[in-house]
């Protein structure tokens, strides 16, 4: 499977069972346009070969413009608009989970200019499965498999 196919599969999984773009997308684009010329903080999606990550930036970028994107594509996660930043980048809104002003972390609601709530919930704010209990359970299952034991409830109990 190629890198592009992996990215499409990852975005497709996130796009399933929801409206695209979100119902308040137009209002959020208007808020972004009103912030042109101001410093903004981004939470960017980082598609990799085998996973889709998310990256916070504590660096403010000046929002130079919000322009129409000529070929939106929900299957590939490309939204109808893109942001032009002062560092020379143009980033499609489909590659951004959140844009805020004044603070990059834990912004109050009024400082959020754009937020793809589904992505934030799925990649950032969802309950993490990695804890002591889950690590112990997974370790026992893997050790049992390695030793040729059947994966049953006995392997997951203390």
68-92: average pLDDT: 88
Domain ranges, ordered by start, for the chain: 3-125, 128-158
Task: Give the pLDDT of residue 129.
Answer: 64
130-158: average pLDDT: 72
Check: CB of residue 40 under 8 Å from CB of residue 104: no
Neighbours of 27 (CB within 10 A): 11
The pLDDT-based confidence of 124 (bands split at 50, 70, 90) is low
Q: Which two tokens stand for residue 122?
A: 């799925």
Check: CB of residue 113 under 8 Å from CB of residue 32: yes
Element of type H or E holding 141:
helix 132-146
The pLDDT-based confidence of 128 (bands split at 50, 70, 90) is low
Residue-averaged pLDDT of the chain? 78
DSSP-based three-state secondary structure for 112:
strand
**pTM flag (> 0.75):** no
Residue 22 has pLDDT above 90, yes or no: no
Check: CB of residue 155 under 8 Å from CB of residue 149: yes
CA distance 78 to 157: 45
Per-residue model confidence as pLDDT tens digits over 4-19: 544 444 444 444 445 5
DSSP-based three-state secondary structure for 64:
strand
120-149: average pLDDT: 74
For the chain, count helices (H), then strands (E): 5, 7
The pLDDT-based confidence of 119 (bands split at 50, 70, 90) is low
Task: Give the pLDDT of residue 67.
Answer: 94
């Amino acid at each position: 499977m190629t890198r592009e196919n992996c990215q499409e599969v990852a975005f497709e999984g996130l796009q399933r069972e929801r409206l695209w773009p979100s119902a308040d997308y137009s209002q959020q684009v208007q808020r972004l346009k009103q912030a042109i010329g101001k410093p903004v903080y981004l939470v960017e999606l980082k598609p990799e070969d085998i996973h889709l990550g998310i990256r916070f930036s504590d660096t403010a970028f000046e929002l130079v413009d919000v322009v129409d994107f000529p070929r939106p594509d929900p299957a590939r996660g490309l939204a109808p608009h893109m942001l032009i930043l002062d560092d020379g980048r143009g980033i499609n809104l489909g590659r951004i989970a959140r844009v805020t002003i004044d603070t990059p972390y834990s912004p109050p609601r009024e400082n959020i200019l754009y937020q793809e709530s589904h992505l934030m919930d799925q990649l950032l704010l969802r309950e993490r499965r990695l804890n002591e209990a889950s690590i112990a359970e997974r370790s026992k299952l893997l050790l049992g498999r390695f030793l040729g034991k059947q994966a049953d409830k006995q392997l997951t109990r203390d």
